[in-house]
Structure 1
Amino acid sequence: MLTAGAAQAADWPAGKPITLIVPAAAGSTPDQSSRKLAQYLGEKLGTSVVVDNRPGAAGSIAMQTLVRSKPDGYTIGFGNIVTMAINRSLLARPGYDADKDLVPVSATTTVPNILAVNAGLPIRSVKELIDYARKNPGKLTMGSGGNGTTSHLSGEMLRDQAHIDFRHIPYRGAPQAQIDVISGQVDFMFDNVPSILSAVQGNKLRAIAVTSKSRLPVLPNVPTMDESGLPGFEVNAWGGIVAPAGTPRPVVERLNREINAYLQLPATRKDAEQNGSVVVGGSPEAFAQMIAKESRKWGDLIRKANIKLD
């Protein structure tokens, strides 16, 4: 005999629309990838999957909306490195508990950052950036997409490992920071590959390293931070689908199967490779392990750098 939850899951989604809450603005990298996944899920599940953009407050607005939703499979969310791993150490009051209030469904992709400098600077490598910073302490400026982003925390990792000093200038989004690095008002920045790649390829910015474990096919001549003399320096932004705690396990498993099938499509993998992303996938448990590992890593750095947001 089926339990009430199992019976509901067997009938799910029964043509009822599903909402996918995304903690980013329309047109952003998370929004674009979520809309492609939403279209695929809608086709496979025989219903519409509607993207609901809830940017702001380091993603906590979106997550608070998600955890208040009924755990019936009709509201899911895009959980990323900030909302699932960083916020628990960065925000004094995030308004949700990523471990207790949410259940992982599946990781989707990871994407590294590019370390790029203003094209007019006499800096063509990480070594030269470090040397310049040591000779001119406190003079260099680093832009970021905002406090607590991987754009910001990559810089804090550089500061810590290279023992250099520079001034951090947080912006309300990476595009604004990028504009000022291009113009020369700011010296350098880290940014997600899809966001900054066109500026690098258009020679508006000079890429001197990537934060992935190995070189990227899309930028084969740009070394990793590890190759550049900072052993173990690896930063990858990542994301995946999560659901409110209490969502029936059969629903979580069905979503996981469909998401993994989507990630294996040649078109999905080709799109990921072209924008510097890496397809992940895997089980809900594997995603939970990733979240736990990343939470420890970034919690240690945030405490060491004494970064805190209200």
Structure 2
Amino acid sequence: MHRRPLLAALLAAPAMARAQEGWPQRPLRLVIPFTPAGTTDLTGRLAAEALGPRLGQPAVVENRPGAGGNVGGEFVARAEPDGYTLLLTTIGTGAINFAVYGDRMPYKPQDLAAVGMLIRVPNVLLVPPDSPAKTVAELVALARTRPGGLNYGTAGIGSSPHVCGELFKMMTGAPLTHVPYRGSAPMLTELMAGRVDVGMDNIPSALAFVKDGKLRALATTGAARSPVLPDAPTLDEAGVKGFEATAWFGILAPAATPAPVLQRLGREVDAVARDPAFRTRMAALGGEKPALTPEGGTSPETFASFMAAEREKWAEVVRRSGAKVD
């Protein structure tokens, strides 16, 4: 009684193989799980622009924000696993959210397959230009003298800036209250208007405002100073010894995507990540190379291992800080 399904599968196999050999035969959709104008959006659009010609088909960007990136992540996790719907993942959707959202997470790590990392991006600690805090030490002191402390804004719950802010609170003891926004753009607007006291954001989306004097950069979160903000010390240099946290962005696909398609995607994403033109454009915004492979690039296997380690690392930070979604 099982012969008919087995026969159908055997007959379908050659057709599926031919479809994979000819992939891609139509435009791809790259889902960006945050609002336009933030670092995730900027990275995704530059990646789509570079990826399309390599695949011989356009990569069309589609923003699906909400729930710290989980709306877009779930959409791709449930999409047809044919290689035509991809996710521009962040450290949030690929690692942090699993700890922050816990049982409320709408998909699991195994629902998405790693393709490759595109870029690493440090965060930056920001204040409005008229803030009395000129240094990290002054910010911590100000928070301790203000009744109720200070509010700090980020691009959303579970984002890299969010957990960086929580790690900063843990390591300094500064009384700070998290104010999540639906992306970097609205948070930065509120910060420049003085309606939130402090901001933590990825460097690319905040850089222009810092250079124009509309925001003040107190420190960055990487292991070394950012070439695009050379006057801003690292948090370690600013007295928060041992602080290091870097956001990252990459590509994921639905878990059941055929292996040949994943491998082709992996090769092309690696080529984009190491492409001098892409790297130059991202470096101008503060982005750094993935360097997951000896060649300084990325692969599905190395990215999968990296994300697993990141999930473990940030789960501990979330556990200790209590940064959970209520």
TM-score computed with the length of structure 1 as normaliser: 0.91
Q: What stretches of structure 1 of length at least 5 have no aligned partner? A: none
Mapping for residues 221-232 of structure 1, pairs under 5 Å: 221-232=231-242
Separation in 1 of the partners of 2:150 and 2:79? 45
The answer for the alignment partner of 2:168 in structure 1 is: 158
Contact 2:29 2:62 survives alignment (8 Å) = yes
Aligned partner letter, 2:108: D
Measure the CA separation in 2 of the matches of 1:185 and 1:12: 49
Aligned mates of 1:18, 1:132 — CA distance in 2: 49
The answer to whether the 8 A contact 1:137-1:166 is kept is no
**What is the rounded CA distance, in whole Å, between the counterparts of 2:81 and 2:200 in structure 1?**
37
Letter in 2 for 1:184: G
Instruction: Quote the offset at 1:118 in angstroms.
Output: 2.2
Correspondence list, 1:73-222, <5 A: 73-91=83-101, 92-98=103-109, 100-136=110-146, 138-222=148-232
* Other-structure match for 1:248: 258
Identical residues among aligned pairs (%): 41
Superposed CA offset, 1:172-222 (max 9, x none): 333222233223332211111111111111112211100111001111111
The CA distance in 1 between the partners of 2:73 and 2:62, in whole Å, is: 12
Q: Which moved more, 1:233-242 or 1:300-309?
A: 300-309
Name the SS for the 2:104 alignment partner.
coil
Which shows bigger deviation, 35-44 or 260-269? 35-44
Distance 1:169 1:93 in 2: 20
Say if 1:143 and 1:68 are closer, same or farther in 2 by CA, change over 3 A: closer
Partner of 2:314: 298
1:233 and 2:229 aligned: no
Runs of 4+ in 1 over 4 A off after TM superposition: 3-7
Partners of 1:306 and 1:265 lie apart in 2 by 40
Aligned counterpart in structure 2 of residue 61 of structure 1, from 67, 71, 90: 71
Does structure 2 retain, via aligned residues, the 8 Å contact 1:256–1:284?
A: yes
Q: Deviations over 1:7-64 (max 9, x none)?
A: 4432222x22222222122343322322232233222222222222211122222122
- Cα deviations across residues 237-274 of structure 1 (Å, max 9, x unaligned)? 21111111121222111111111212222221111111
Q: Is 2:38 the partner of 1:28?
A: yes
The alignment partner of 2:201 has SS state of: strand
8 Å CA contact 2:152–2:196 kept in 1: the answer is yes
Letter of the 2:251 partner, please give it: I
- Structure 1 pair 175/36, CA: closer, same or farther in 2 (3 Å)? closer
| 1:308 alignment counterpart | 324
- Look up the SS of the partner of 1:19 in the other structure: strand
State the 1:159 CA deviation: 0.8
The answer to whether the 8 A contact 2:273-2:298 is kept is no
In 2 relative to 1, CA 25–185 (structure 1 residues): closer, same or farther, beyond 3 Å?
closer
Q: What is the distance in 2 between the residues matched to 1:206 and 1:32?
A: 22
Establish whether residue 11 from structure 1 lines up as the match of residue 27 from structure 2: no
For the 8 Å contact 2:37–2:185, the answer to whether it is kept is no
Provide the rounded CA distance (Å) in 1 between the counterparts of 2:22 and 2:92: 34
Task: Determine whether 1:48 maps to 2:58.
Answer: yes
> In 1, Cα distance between the equivalents of 2:54 and 2:157?
38
Question: Does the aligned pair in 2 maintain the 1:115–1:189 contact within 8 Å?
Answer: yes
What's the C-alpha RMSD, in Å, of the aligned pairs? 2.0
TM-score, normalised via structure 2 length: 0.87
Q: By how many angstroms is 1:128 displaced?
A: 1.9
Shift of 1:170: 2.4
Q: Letter of the 2:166 partner, please give it.
A: E
Residues in 2 aligned to 1:188 and 1:27: alpha-carbon distance in whole angstroms: 20
